[in-house]
Amino acid sequence: MKHGSLRLFSDSEYRQLSRNDWLAGLELHEQVESTNLLGLGCDPHVPTPHLIVAERQTGGRGRGANRWWGSDGCLMFSLVLDFPSLGIAEHRRAVMSLVTGLAMWRAVAPLVDPAQLKLKWPNDLYYQGRKLCGILLQASAAGPAAQRVVVGVGVNVHNRFDEAPAEVRERATSLSESGASPGRLFDVLDVALETLRSEYEWLAQGRSDLARRWSYRCLLRNKQVTLQVGGNCVSGRCLGVNDDGSLSVDDGAGERRFVSGEVQTVR
């Protein structure tokens, strides 16, 4: 175990994390550029699952060109995972992002009104229409590193947005600001590790009820959305998520399914 700060967790919480029987490696840092470290995930000598937690992050990434803004009180961590070790078949890896979203929904739901906790395809978590948790998965496309993935998660737990960029203040919230009593960051992380482990075991079992599990949690379902796919934009009514992880949109000419893309607008 590596760590550079005793502010993030208490000594007893450090010890409890180090005894987690799912984790093969653990790093705790006062500050890193980003906890989503693809280079670390590509290193075959790094035992998995390998957890990296940071108190502060100076260069966090979001989807596309977006950046993740995190301040004190935000839980930021990454998991380096190995697909074969988890037993996840190659044809199931495409839905891992959505399954990670489900895991984080389960971790946070007991703390808030679950009816107002929604998943925005492919994986981000929204509460009362504001972003609560961001998720980003990174993997190499070829070679031995293609068997690994880095799952980056940022959960707004106790942080405030007074000093955040204007666009962040307008669309983000935290558990504390939403009226929840989330306890310590460790409490949220501890539950998240269990739900992530559980969902990845579900994925390894090859079950095909992803669409059903996403249905009532889906932020976009029956909403008018604009989806950017490459250099093109598609607008229409969202029909929901399918078992293969794709998003269905009725653009007026019929149903179209998208396996990738970025949702630009929702109304």
CA distances from 252 to 201, 239, 249 (A): 38, 12, 9
* Domain of 237, in residue numbers: 224-266
β-strand partners of 80? 50, 150
Inter-residue contact 180 to 198 (CB < 8 Å): no
Judge whether residue 3 has pLDDT over 50. no
Domain-ending residue, one of 215, 238, 254: 215
- Report how far residue 121's alpha carbon sits from residue 44's, in angstroms, rounded to the nearest whole number: 31
**Tens-place pLDDT, residues 198-254:** 999 999 999 889 999 999 999 999 999 999 998 899 999 999 999 999 999 999 999
**Does one domain contain both 133 and 228?**
no
Share of the chain above pLDDT 70, in %: 87
The 3-state DSSP composition of the chain as helix, strand, coil percent (nearest 5) reads: 30, 30, 40
The CATH number that applies at residue 138 is 3.30.930.10
Inter-residue contact 73 to 174 (CB < 8 Å): yes
- Report how far residue 220's alpha carbon sits from residue 240's, in angstroms, rounded to the nearest whole number: 7
**Does one domain contain both 142 and 14?**
yes
**Does one domain contain both 198 and 238?**
no
Share of the chain above pLDDT 90, in %: 68
> What is the tally of structural domains in the chain?
2
- Report how far residue 105's alpha carbon sits from residue 188's, in angstroms, rounded to the nearest whole number: 12
Judge whether residue 35 has pLDDT over 60. no
**Tens-place pLDDT, residues 124-163:** 999 999 999 999 998 877 766 788 999 999 999 998 887 7
**Tens-place pLDDT, residues 61-87:** 445 445 556 678 899 999 999 999 999
Inter-residue contact 71 to 176 (CB < 8 Å): no
**Does one domain contain both 124 and 158?**
yes
**Does one domain contain both 136 and 232?**
no
What's the pLDDT score for residue 43? 76
